[in-house]
Amino acid sequence: MKYLTFIVILFCLLTAQVVQGQTETKKISSKIEEAMSAAPSSISKNATILGYPTEPGGQNIVLRKGTNGWTCRPDNPHIPGNNPMCVDSQVFELLSAAAEKRDPNITQTGFGYFLQGGHGRSNLNPWDTSPTPENEWMEHQVPHIVVVLPDKSILEGLPTKMNNGGPWVMWDGTPYAHIMIPVPEYNP
């Protein structure tokens, strides 16, 4: 009888391990699919997919290694809204520099896709976390493409207001200034 009880318990434990592994695989697959929805499949299908650290200050989690130099991320669980992204190395540098509050090292023109839109954000200040009368707050970012340039003087004379009906410069006058190009809603 003890032997039979031992076998039943062992079977239950092994079954639980298999179910837990299948659940984790589904979560990873879901995050990869979500990240890929940020860009055209011609880019996202071979991009590296990075998950967010489980703890503040932790390491990014590689969900899938890519081959084309692009990095896609699923929705950030630490920020409200749906905000997957797919960016090249230059936009990745811009966003990393803004998060670390250091000057970015942009060496060539770069692109980023945010075809699901994004969370609320200030058009003027990368570190504002809520609306103020002065910060031109976007409650929800429309689907858009980001363009970064190594020479910020190229941005001079471009619109800086997001409601102008076309592309505009976001975070103008900061080292993080970049062009936002609104695009129609994207449903992969």
> Residue 146 and residue 181: Cα distance in Å, rounded?
6
pLDDT at position 25, please?
A: 62
Amino acid at position 74, single letter: P
- Coil/strand/helix, residue 27: helix
Residue 53: C-alpha distances to residues 15, 23, 44, 69 (Å): 29, 19, 21, 21
Whether 80 and 107 have beta carbons less than 8 Å apart is answered as no
**Tokens (6 digits) for 9:** 């318990």
- Coil/strand/helix, residue 111: strand
For residue 49, the cross-strand partners are: 64, 72
User: If phi over 0 gives left and psi between -120 and 50 gives alpha, with beta otherwise, what is residue 85?
Assistant: beta
pTM: 0.82
> Residue 114 and residue 170: Cα distance in Å, rounded?
14
pLDDT at position 9, please?
A: 53
> Residue 5 and residue 150: Cα distance in Å, rounded?
68
Residues 6+ positions from 182 with CB-CB distance below 8 Å: 142, 143, 144, 166, 167
pLDDT at position 116, please?
A: 92
- Coil/strand/helix, residue 77: coil
| Distance from the first to the final alpha carbon of the chain | 56
pLDDT at position 187, please?
A: 63
Number of Cβ within 10 Å of residue 81's Cβ equals 15
pLDDT at position 102, please?
A: 97
| Per-residue pLDDT tens digits of the chain, which is 188 residues long | 555 555 545 444 444 444 444 466 668 999 999 999 999 999 999 999 999 888 777 888 999 999 999 999 999 887 777 889 999 999 999 999 998 999 999 999 999 999 998 888 889 988 888 888 888 988 878 899 999 999 999 999 999 998 888 999 999 999 999 999 999 766 66
